[in-house]
Structure 1
Amino acid sequence: MRRKHTLNSPLAHGIFPSPTSTTPYWRTELHPLDTYRSTDELPETSDIVIIGAGMTGISIAYHLLLDIPPEAAPSITILEARQVCSGATGRNGGHLKLASWIIKDTLEKWGVDAARDLIKSHIAHIMALKNVIEKEKIDCDFLVTRSFDVFMDSDEARQRELDLRTYKDMGLDELEHVDVLATKYLEAITGFAHSKGSFSVPGAQLWPYKFVTGLLNTFIDRPNVNLQTRTQVTSVSDRHDPDGFFHVETSTRGTTLARKVVFATNAYTAGILPMYHRTIVPVRGTGAHIVPLRTSKDPTPTLRRRVNTCTYNIFHRHGQVDHLVHRPDGGVVIGGAKTLFINDSEQWSGVVDDGSLILPEKVTPYFEGVMTEHFHEWEKSGAKVDRLWTGIMGYTTDGAAHVGHVPGRQDQYVCAGFNGAGMVYIFLTARGVARMISGTDNFEDSGIPRVFKATRERLHG
């Protein structure tokens, strides 16, 4: 499900969002709802309190309210420690794709059926986001495209191709969507120079912050919805009080009561649910936006001068991966650079500080070099990082998200730990959680990948 790392686990009480944060490219055009509070005070009670206003929390609220008239809808309060979409969703790579590298880990851990579940989820999410964006008329630069997994090591490229053939022989017909590119056409098709092999897979890109705020905007005016930003939840009672409510405590704004609680808290889950200490661990990553300072005057044909809108995962030796998205406006969003700091775990493992940068004096030239060394149209572009940021991902011990009923707690739900690949899972997983909350489905019927099921055994695995 993810690249293997050794994770440090900090004390659970320290796992809360940093009060200050770097500014990612995706948060440079802020929405009026960014720091919105529906009311001056917290509601006294709600049917459902959702903790977290990123893609997960907002998608769960959207699905809970979908096709329900206001008079029949539950009252929902959304509590966010900082601003809307200020966590991982607002700091990610801006793309989703059929992630071919996940298949190997999934097969080894959980078998063919689990791998099939995840592949189907990846493909379904591309179309689900396309459909909701069109339905709700959300302006978020959404574009269905192809994504390339490019391998910089010849041995790894050969092994990946052999693995893919093996998986297809095992009956994973869903992999028909993955194309192995002929070596002689690698650069012509991908636009990426010096790779040793590549897969082409279905993908899409979007402006994540604009998607989340646009989705929120479709239901924020409903009388039963209350959004409270800059409201840090510090604890939630583990059982109902005599009146049937959980007590949701905040750091500075008092207590609100809820009949049901949803933890859409990703990397910060253990701060409020200590049982997830050592199970969902914060991992800090870094990303950048790069612009060309000069426009190439190379009179080559239109193919080379066109705007590239593909997305990439770049596989280096030793299992390190960069992600890259060519934006339609000519800029690039890139992230990773972990080869520079992988051996310094204090920079990234168990870290919740997204208010400081990771080795900017090394990361900046590294990202710029990826563009000038591997894309011909960028060779003499004067590629310049104009924005550098950090973000906190939630990694899990077994590589799968934790979704469903909080183990041992009635009417509390968790949807967290997406291991840095949330956008290819969250929207439809959120639909499944909403169905569980409303009582229309149990986990097995919800459409959520089965390996995501939150269980007591996974807490200690």
Structure 2
Amino acid sequence: MPPKHPIPAHKTFPHPTSTTSFWRTELSPLDTYRSTPNLPPTVDIAIIGSGMSGVSIAYHLLKTAAPESQPSILILEARQLCSGATGRNGGHTKLAAWHMQKAFDVPVPGGGRAGIEAAEEVIAFQVAQITALKNVIEEEGIQCDFLQTRSFDVFLDEQLSGERVDMVREKIAAGLKTAGREVQILDGQGTGVLSRDGVQRITGVSCAYGALNVPAAQLWPYKFVSGLLSSFIDKINFQTETQVNSVSDIPDADGYHTLSTATRGEVRAKKVIFATNAYTPALLPDIYEHKIVPVRGTASYVVRKDDGDSRFLDLQHRVNTYNLAYGGGMQDYLVHRPDGGVIFGGGYGVFGTHEELFRGTVDDSKVAMEKEMREYFEKRMTTTWKDWAISGAKVDRIWTGIMGATPDGYPHIGVVPGRRNQFICAGFNGAGMPHIFLSAKGLARMVNDGVEFKETGIPSIFESRLDRLKNW
């Protein structure tokens, strides 16, 4: 549902202050880094944003460029390194099974839906993301608590469980080969290999009616981004606390676009990449206002009140990540950390009809309905896991972050419509981790080598498009 009163695009710049997420409690030396005292006068490529998108794009630009033609790259960050959505997310990536239907239903120009081929592209892309992250983390020696694992989509509503299980079986039968290989169905309805009690024992979730088991990985997102940036910081210019206020829509006579900052003057760039997610409409209002809309999310770090008795810990199943679906469109996510705590996010049902608390806002300086959100996360932990019911749960830290939502639920990647040498990688709908790293690789090929979008390996429905999207 779109926001009833979307905020004007010119007010969608990042909020000057923000809550501190769990991921930003151990900061990198690069957090407020500036490569040079002043901005360079000109660069080949300017990237706006230093989250997973911006830093991954820069990494791939350097990797894919020939040694003799390495571009000069400038990354501009309005606040601190990775202080946006990436530094506030759930810290996991997975095959998101609901995309089997979601991608299938995406409208296409001329009418109709994207269909089974598009759904296969998205699901296969999500699985490939896990391997790609593992490879780069090992190659660059990034210490970010990476763990390749499995994830449970657990359904706590009987009707929803039946619908989701039937959908997955239907899409696999229709030709979703990746899902057929990678998804295990635990339906608990007597038609699968497990009873409902068996589903609850395997997932560890009380009151589960059914579940899907899918490939996944968990990591510390801020440490991934800062570690990746560290691997090439000497090859680029990085400037934090430098908010870009405007970008010229056409190049000057020398082929440069002018980027004007709030406090540090101007820089000219041959090519500009918007890795700006929810904040994109502030810089491209005529193109993306109402097409990428800010949405506020809430997450927490939950610890045990009493962990003295370890008899109830079922550690075998605590390496999995989780999505908990309740029916009515409500869904939470959860990651058991190696330290014994849990990253738990979601809780949109707490807001009830107060849509203005989460849609159309860029204010991540405070947690909306904080008392109620704390109570919600603690109650969900103790009613969902038996051992947590015994130990009790306490929210140790709670924070909020701003995601970029789009009408069809998919990001915009590729050439900015109507703009020469301007590119975008934004609008990830709270699902950036399963999509960003390889999207950045494909976009880097477009920027460096001029390849067409269809040659990048990015799912076709991610291409930056306006023709099939209604305003929000």
1:249 corresponding residue in structure 2: 260
Task: Give the AA of the match of 1:345.
Answer: E
Once the two structures are TM-superposed, the CA of residue 8 in structure 1 deviates from its matched residue by: 4.3
Task: Give the AA of the match of 2:296.
Answer: R
Instruction: Indicate yes or no: 2:403 matched with 1:393.
Output: yes
8 A Cα contact 1:279 1:396, kept in partner: yes
Other structure's SS at 2:55 match: helix
Q: Sequence identity of aligned pairs in percent?
A: 52
Once the two structures are TM-superposed, the CA of residue 130 in structure 1 deviates from its matched residue by: 0.4
2:197 corresponding residue in structure 1: 184
Once the two structures are TM-superposed, the CA of residue 265 in structure 1 deviates from its matched residue by: 0.1
Task: Give the AA of the match of 2:231.
Answer: T
1:271 corresponding residue in structure 2: 282
Other structure's SS at 2:10 match: helix
1:153-191 per-position Cα deviation (integer Å, ceiling 9, x unaligned): 101101111111111111112112111112231122111
1:230 corresponding residue in structure 2: 241
Task: Give the AA of the match of 1:264.
Answer: A
1:118-150 per-position Cα deviation (integer Å, ceiling 9, x unaligned): 001110000000000011010000001110111
2:216 corresponding residue in structure 1: 203
Instruction: Indicate yes or no: 2:32 matched with 1:35.
Output: yes
8 A Cα contact 2:45 2:71, kept in partner: yes
Once the two structures are TM-superposed, the CA of residue 68 in structure 1 deviates from its matched residue by: 4.7
Separation of aligned partners in 2, 1:306 and 1:201: 16
1:268-307 per-position Cα deviation (integer Å, ceiling 9, x unaligned): 000000110000000001000011131152536xx72557
2:173 corresponding residue in structure 1: 169
Task: Give the AA of the match of 1:119.
Answer: I
Separation of aligned partners in 2, 1:251 and 1:420: 28
Using the TM superposition, name which of 124-133 and 176-185 deviates more: 176-185
Structure 1 stretches of 4+ moved >4 Å: 4-8, 67-71, 458-461
1:261 corresponding residue in structure 2: 272
Task: Give the AA of the match of 2:229.
Answer: L
Other structure's SS at 1:283 match: strand
Separation of aligned partners in 1, 2:399 and 2:150: 26
1:331-358 per-position Cα deviation (integer Å, ceiling 9, x unaligned): 0001001011141011001000000111
> Mind listing any 5+ residue stretches in structure 1 that lack a counterpart?
none
* Aligned residues: CA RMSD: 1.5
Separation of aligned partners in 1, 2:64 and 2:88: 31
1:281 corresponding residue in structure 2: 293
Instruction: Indicate yes or no: 2:303 matched with 1:299.
Output: no
Once the two structures are TM-superposed, the CA of residue 7 in structure 1 deviates from its matched residue by: 6.1
1:203-251 per-position Cα deviation (integer Å, ceiling 9, x unaligned): 11000000000000000012xx100000000100001111111000001
> Mind listing any 5+ residue stretches in structure 2 that lack a counterpart?
107-113, 187-193
Using the TM superposition, name which of 385-394 and 100-109 deviates more: 100-109
Task: Give the AA of the match of 2:299.
Answer: G
8 A Cα contact 2:202 2:317, kept in partner: no
Structure-1-length-normalised TM-score:
0.96
1:451 corresponding residue in structure 2: 461
8 A Cα contact 2:21 2:399, kept in partner: yes
Other structure's SS at 1:221 match: helix
Other structure's SS at 2:260 match: strand
Other structure's SS at 1:321 match: strand
Distance 1:154 1:460, change over 3 A: closer
